[in-house]
Structure 1
Amino acid sequence: MGTNPSQNHHLQVTQFSLPKKQFVAYGLYALIPLALLHYLLFYPLATAKPPVQLPQLQEDAPAFVPSQHGHAPVNADEQLPPPSPHRQDEVLGNSPAGEAVSASPPCDYADGEWVPDARPPLYNGTSCGTIKDGQNCMAHGRPDTGYLYWRWRPQRCDLPAFSPAAFLRWLRNRHLAFVGDSLARNQGESLLCLLSSHSTPELVYRDGEENKFRRWVFHEYNATVSIFWSPLLVKVVEKAEHAGVRHNNVFLDAFDERWMSQLGALDAAVLSVGHWFLIPGIYHDAGNVVGCHDCAGLNHTETDFFGVFKEAVHRTLAEVTRRQVADTSKKKKVIAFTTFSPAHFQGDWDKTGACPEKRPYKEKEVGYTETAMRKTVVDAVAAANADADAGGLRFAALDVTKLANLRPDGHPGPYMRNDPFAGGGEDARVQNDCVHWCMPGPIDTFNEILLQTVVG
């Protein structure tokens, strides 16, 4: 070990003397290692760059304002631990030649916080043609942009940024479907826009009112993405307000074959339902009416929707397993179920400022309804995995309830159409959407988690 020069006064002088020239030579030899040690110890400290500090955000200001050239002023990821040198191989399920990649414990993406992120979105309101008009906040002139510059940071692990190339490599020669209500469509369109930043898809099929059934192909990868409208997963005769029918008729013992009949051709499916169970409904099972929700004036037993939601979720996953067992091809499948994402209305849907927040919540308790519906999905997925003795079938919960609950700023609000206050000023009563998500926006994070889930 080298001696600190400041301690030289503690050294004892030797009792013998050397010739003068020899003494000088030995002294020079002794100084060489000391000089080298000084260089190794202090030069890295002198040249090291100071850690990047994120700017403090003002409460009423956007998180970040991109430069005119679209470059991010600060890379928030520089404060995170560096990823594994083989992270990309781990994501894709590969190992470098001759090396074994050690398995790490699965990341719990459900619990975390939103932190500032200066990176611009992968797409905007005009760069992909799949955004439903009502969620195109950019194109409709939403004036604030702070909602775009946040990322979800789990408590005990890292959530990598979305890689369109990695997802498309996984999706090569596969068919992925989003099945469910308008939030399933919202998530499906988000994925298509994210992937479109790397490869342009072709719309090859379209059917139904409001394009409720669509299919795209990324020809470069022979990869297919479909969207199926199925707001309760099981069979339903939907309400028709214009005809005076305000109740859904829900059949718990039958399935929506518009998507279920396509199951054999799918390699992966993302299911997402919830909000339609809050709509008034009459419930049928085994040929009988077994209850109804919000059905005053009808001669049926009033019941809440939680039990019906639970039955629909459990029965759907059981039916997927049954059909997989019966499928002789035994094609491997991943069935992901996105948990309930809360609405953020702070008043009437047509009231000014129905969802006025401009920043994420730092912390906010999840409501009882959201908590119960999330638990139903998580428990059903766990039970389905325990019972899934069909080879190659895997269920997963995309647990987004908490991260969605903390993003009241990510909804279109009044910007469901261009210039919503034209002619009436900002006090005009206009429709607000505090349920669906702006694109780009927080729902892109759902697909960051989806990427990590499907390749797991």
Structure 2
Amino acid sequence: MKRFSIRGLLAGARRSRHAVVAAKAAASSVPALVALLLFAAAATFSLFSLGSFHSPGAAAGDGGDVAAAACDAARGRGEWVRDAGAAPYYTNATCGFIQEYQNCMKHARPSLEFLRWRWRPGGAGGEGCEPLGRFDAARFFRLVRGKSMLFVGDSLASSHVTSLMCALSQVEAPARSRDAAAGFEHWRFPAHGFAVAYFWTPFQVRWRLTRGPPEAVGPERQGEVFAGPSDLHLDEPDERWTSAAMAHDYVVLSASHWFRRPAVYYQHGHVVGCHDCGDSNITAILKPEHAQRAAFRTVLGAMARLDGFNGTAILRTVAPTHYENGGWFDGGECTATRPVDETEDGAPEMAATEAEFYRAQVEEFTAAARRGNGAQARLRLMDVTRMMLLRPDGHPDRHGHGGGEHDGFEIDCLHWCLPGAIDAWNDLLLQMIGSSST
């Protein structure tokens, strides 16, 4: 698998290195004629500058000055700076919501150095910018009183919810409930008039297990979905969560990694291709990045024009994996002990498919925001890709479980320790909500 460096992306030039496989998924190399016909606007995959896209917080016409734009945390530019006195917002002793696979403190991670870093936004080196303000739960509650937030996505979206719930629970313990039939998990903070919902979906568009029940399955059957294949209706948003979105003031969207998995793709109710689906009757092969682009185009377009939704839709970009010397289940590891310093370590690299996922998210977001100009829904971009690419030290590696508890998946370089690096996503979320409230 090719991997792209951030420096290479910025320069618009491809480079390759030794294959580092994040998931064992075969992809056929037949000509992508069908993909070109179905996704004409997505068919060209020349690389792009990560700095060439504006976050909604600094969109054209906002009137912000150049200095303010350069320090816009949502743009994804900046560096991690060490804060020796930093303390986590919570620990596994003060928050009971942390799941085993991300509980690095419980499972004896040898050093807590990964908790001593803060994100400083800005251009190269972040000159002139202050580190991102620390999450203030009391201020967050003041800003969201009387409101609600929906998170939609996969296990990384679940980790984001858990991180936020742990941080907020230091002020008020939430009431937690599940609606298994509808697929939602709910968290309520009655003293502060705030509610959070989480809907698990690896694809966001309408989908089901190809050899499963007619409806989509829930997170308890992730293993079956991982084995696949799944049927993905790329032009149909999943109404189970889009209909619920109208009742929320904020909707945080994410998910990309599952598009690597085997799938059969549909448009207008008809099969248009597949990826690693094992069906000899389907001759059109579509790459995962084509499918992911089409799905995000559908979902973002739906949110931009969703009748009855007067809130803000936030797209959080892909968080890269950091497997080295192998991949899932075959010896891959992530043993880094500090963030990447580009001035010392050189430009980090991102798997080629993840780079294309990121490209598609940003381009489709930009297109949806442009098409939705004047729509009631407000689209915002939370660009975390580069900041997380610089954190190979933030994953559980071997410290996200007890010995032998993961059925062979012993090393995790996809998910993130909690507390940990992704707590900065809540710093970003607070800044975005605060800026939209002023």
TM-score normalised according to structure 1 size = 0.70
Give matches, 1:167-246, under 5 Å.
167-207=140-180, 213-238=184-209, 246=228
Q: Which of 237, 243, 266 is 2:248 aligned to?
A: 266
How far did 1:224 drift?
A: 0.3
The structure-2 alpha-carbon separation of the partners of 1:108 and 1:255, relative to structure 1 and needing over 3 Å to count, comes to same
Which residue of 2 is the match for residue 105 of structure 1? 68
Q: Which of 105, 125, 134 is 1:138 aligned to?
A: 105
Q: What is the letter of the counterpart of residue 108 of structure 1?
A: D
Q: Is the 8 A contact 2:304 2:375 kept in 1?
A: no
The structure-2 alpha-carbon separation of the partners of 1:223 and 1:383, relative to structure 1 and needing over 3 Å to count, comes to same
Match of 1:455, SS state, is helix
Q: Which of 382, 388, 391 is 1:407 aligned to?
A: 391
Q: Which of 415, 425, 438 is 1:436 aligned to?
A: 415
Match of 2:286, SS state, is coil
Which residue of 2 is the match for residue 284 of structure 1? 266
Question: Is the counterpart of residue 312 in structure 1 residue 276 in structure 2?
Answer: no
Q: Which of 303, 319, 337 is 1:341 aligned to?
A: 319
Question: Is the counterpart of residue 377 in structure 1 residue 361 in structure 2?
Answer: yes
Q: What is the letter of the counterpart of residue 383 of structure 2?
A: D
| Distance in 1 separating the partners of 2:233 and 2:327 | 32
| Distance in 2 separating the partners of 1:421 and 1:356 | 19
Q: What is the letter of the counterpart of residue 239 of structure 2?
A: E
Q: Is the 8 A contact 1:366 1:402 kept in 2?
A: no
| Distance in 1 separating the partners of 2:367 and 2:431 | 21
Q: Is the 8 A contact 1:274 1:340 kept in 2?
A: yes
How far did 1:397 drift?
A: 1.1
Q: Which of 78, 91, 114 is 2:80 aligned to?
A: 114
Which residue of 1 is the match for residue 378 of structure 2? 394
Match of 2:191, SS state, is coil
Deviations 1:240-299 (A, max 9, x none): 676997311101132222211101101001101100101111101112111111235522
| Distance in 2 separating the partners of 1:163 and 1:181 | 26
| Distance in 1 separating the partners of 2:92 and 2:335 | 21
| Distance in 2 separating the partners of 1:105 and 1:412 | 35
Match of 2:305, SS state, is helix
How far did 1:185 drift?
A: 0.8
Match of 1:261, SS state, is helix
Match of 1:214, SS state, is strand
Identity over aligned residues, as a percent?
36
| Distance in 1 separating the partners of 2:232 and 2:409 | 32
Q: What is the letter of the counterpart of residue 317 of structure 2?
A: T
TM-score normalised according to structure 2 size = 0.72
Deviations 1:163-213 (A, max 9, x none): 11111111111110110111111111111111112222111335279xx63
The structure-2 alpha-carbon separation of the partners of 1:390 and 1:230, relative to structure 1 and needing over 3 Å to count, comes to farther
Match of 1:366, SS state, is strand
User: Larger radius of gyration, structure 1 or 2?
Assistant: 1
Q: Is the 8 A contact 1:334 1:454 kept in 2?
A: no
Which residue of 2 is the match for residue 62 of structure 1? none
Which residue of 1 is the match for residue 234 of structure 2? 252
Match of 2:163, SS state, is helix
The structure-2 alpha-carbon separation of the partners of 1:373 and 1:348, relative to structure 1 and needing over 3 Å to count, comes to closer
Q: Which of 348, 355, 368 is 2:334 aligned to?
A: 355
| Distance in 2 separating the partners of 1:146 and 1:263 | 38
Larger RCO, structures 1/2 (Cα 8 Å, 6+ apart): 2
Q: Is the 8 A contact 1:172 1:222 kept in 2?
A: yes
Question: Is the counterpart of residue 454 in structure 1 residue 433 in structure 2?
Answer: yes
Q: Is the 8 A contact 1:345 1:354 kept in 2?
A: yes
Match of 2:350, SS state, is coil
Deviations 1:54-106 (A, max 9, x none): xxxxxxxxxxxxxxxxxxxxxxxxxxxxxxxxxxxxx9xxxxxxxxxx98734
| Distance in 1 separating the partners of 2:298 and 2:137 | 33
The structure-2 alpha-carbon separation of the partners of 1:350 and 1:282, relative to structure 1 and needing over 3 Å to count, comes to closer
How far did 1:376 drift?
A: 1.7
Q: What is the letter of the counterpart of residue 421 of structure 2?
A: P
Q: What is the letter of the counterpart of residue 72 of structure 2?
A: D
The structure-2 alpha-carbon separation of the partners of 1:391 and 1:293, relative to structure 1 and needing over 3 Å to count, comes to closer
Structure 2: any 5+ residue segments left out of the alignment?
A: 1-56, 58-63, 213-222, 343-347
Greater shift in the superposed pair: 244-253 or 390-399: 244-253
Match of 1:105, SS state, is helix
Structure 1: any 5+ residue segments left out of the alignment?
A: 1-90, 92-101, 423-427
The structure-2 alpha-carbon separation of the partners of 1:242 and 1:388, relative to structure 1 and needing over 3 Å to count, comes to closer
| Distance in 1 separating the partners of 2:179 and 2:89 | 25
| Distance in 1 separating the partners of 2:181 and 2:256 | 21
